[in-house]
Amino acid sequence: MLTTVADPYQTSASAGKQRISRWRTNRVQEVFAGYLFITPAFISLFIFLVAPILAAFVLIFMRYDVLSPPTWVGTYNLSQLINDARLRDVYWNTLRFVVFATLFNNVLGLLLAMGVNRAMPSIIKYLLRTALFFPVLTTTASLALVWNFLLTQDRGVVNYLLQQIGLAPVPWLSSSAWAMVSVVMFDVWRACGFLMVIYLAGLQAIPEVLYEAASIDGASQFQRMRYITLPLISPTAFFAIIISLIGAAQVFDNVWVLTGGGPGDATRIVVLYIYEIGFKRFEMGYAAAVSLTLFAILIALTLFQFRLSRRWVHYD
């Protein structure tokens, strides 16, 4: 009686094919599960970001007042951008606010981070970090109301203190010369705590052995700051500058509550202007055109920052 002996090579090849088949099946299931988990995020991203941007691109060629169907007007809204003298003033206000708010927020945030990163009792460090970060946790509208109360010319606490030392009261919110200063001061007070936390994370990621080696070599405090701290936190600084710049360009609620854009147009910034065009004048097409100019400017500034970062951001 003859018996068939299994070929070991065929058995091994068959087992290998089965393992490959199971691996492919498991891989497909993992990929499917991954896409299933991120589907809600993609849907929300499309609904709240991609779809409004696409709708804005369509609306710039339309006249739409919300109450009646949109009508095609061609390039009328784009030509209105060129002839809108008020828009140029609004963008000038926005530029001033973005420059000063971004500068002071990042400088003060870095200085505060360096201050709370120093050796001190843990309870004091905890209280300082909490106090400095507390404005970030509070709603901007409520903070602006408190700030408005502090800076009122007749009954404000700040002017009362100024009078106690013999100084004249300052029209913080009612003067075109001081209103933008007040808005920038409020934004710095509100946002520098958030940037402090970001810079603090970057400072704590620097190995302490580098400072010890520099001290042994006789490096001064300034030299350690110049050659160790600043280069190693440059990626953190780059991230902080980008998000603070974009946030400053889109600020709305604190200006709305503090000054309403006044006096006159002294603090009227572009997002507030877009709101007024769209929801007060009901010119949705022109509001979409103005919003796309802001979108294009922010994209250009971000790309420019990424290009410029090659010269001063060190990732090694």
Residue with tokens 């970062």: 309
Q: How far apart are CA 37 and CA 287, in angstroms?
A: 36
pLDDT of residue 108: 94
- pLDDT of 205 over the 70 cut: yes
pLDDT of residue 143: 86
91, 99 Cβ separation under 8 angstroms: no
pLDDT of residue 150: 87
pLDDT of residue 100: 95
pTM (2 d.p.) = 0.84
Residue with tokens 């509070």: 138
- Residue in 177, 140, 146, 190 with CA at minimum distance from that of residue 267: 177
Which pair of structure tokens corresponds to residue 251?
Answer: 């600020």
DSSP 64: -
pLDDT of residue 13: 58
229, 199 Cβ separation under 8 angstroms: no
When pLDDT is averaged across residues 279-293 and rounded to a whole number, the result is: 91
- pLDDT of 135 over the 90 cut: no
Which pair of structure tokens corresponds to residue 203?
Answer: 């400072």
- pLDDT of 98 over the 50 cut: yes
C-alpha distances in Å from residue 300, one per residue of 92, 207, 242: 17, 35, 12
Q: With bands split at pLDDT 50, 70 and 90, how would you rate the model's confidence at 249?
A: very high
- pLDDT of 300 over the 90 cut: yes
Q: With bands split at pLDDT 50, 70 and 90, how would you rate the model's confidence at 2?
A: very low
Where on the phi/psi map is residue 166: left (φ > 0), alpha (ψ -120 to 50), or beta?
left
pLDDT of residue 92: 94
- pLDDT of 242 over the 70 cut: yes
Q: How far apart are CA 153 and CA 205, in angstroms?
A: 45
Least confident of 138-142, 177-181, 285-289, 303-307: 138-142
How does pLDDT run across 10-69, given as a tens digit for each residue?
Answer: 555 566 667 777 777 778 888 888 888 889 998 999 998 888 888 888 889 989 888 888
Of these ranges, 105-114, 134-143, 251-260, the one predicted with the greatest mean pLDDT is 105-114
